[in-house]
């Protein structure tokens, strides 16, 4: 299983445009066969910060996600909207 978070910081004045782009990723990504979880959150204390929580069945499913036209279009559309580079954190699930 691949677990990760992806955090985006909008430039001042670009929050709404970034939010619209990120929300547009939800429906198509959730339809991908290897997608297990794909949720988007807005920081309650800072409306410029958005975080995806993502889970994919395996590395192949994640790699396929990164090849989708809507993912590639998102990356191209981010130019000028972000205050900093997105932060991607891969996580390892611990079990008792």
pLDDT digits (tens, 9 = 90+) for 14-60: 999 999 999 999 999 999 999 999 999 999 999 999 999 999 999 99
Q: Which CATH architecture has domain 2-91?
A: 2-Layer Sandwich (3.30)
- β-pairing verdict for 2-9 and 87-91: antiparallel
Which ranges constitute the DSSP H helices of 1-96?
15-23, 26-30, 59-67, 69-77
The domain ranges of the chain are: 2-91
CA distances to 41, 58, 75 from 16, rounded to whole Å, are 14, 32, 17
Cβ atoms < 10 Å from Cβ of 91: 13
Query: Between the CA atoms of 53, 21, 65 and 5, what dihedral angle is there, to the nearest 10 degrees?
Result: -20
List, for residues 53-81, the tens digit of each pLDDT value: 999 999 999 999 999 999 999 999 999 99
The overall pTM is greater than 0.85: yes
């Amino acid at each position: 299983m691949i677990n990760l978070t992806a955090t985006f910081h909008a430039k001042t004045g670009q929050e709404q445009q970034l939010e619209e782009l990120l929300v547009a990723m939800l429906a198509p990504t959730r339809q991908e066969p290897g997608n297990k979880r794909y949720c988007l959150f807005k920081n309650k204390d800072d409306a410029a910060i958005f975080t995806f929580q993502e889970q994919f069945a395996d590395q192949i499913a994640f790699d396929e996600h990164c090849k989708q036209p809507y993912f590639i279009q998102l990356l191209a559309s981010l130019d000028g909207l972000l205050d900093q580079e997105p932060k991607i954190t891969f996580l390892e699930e611990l079990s008792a």
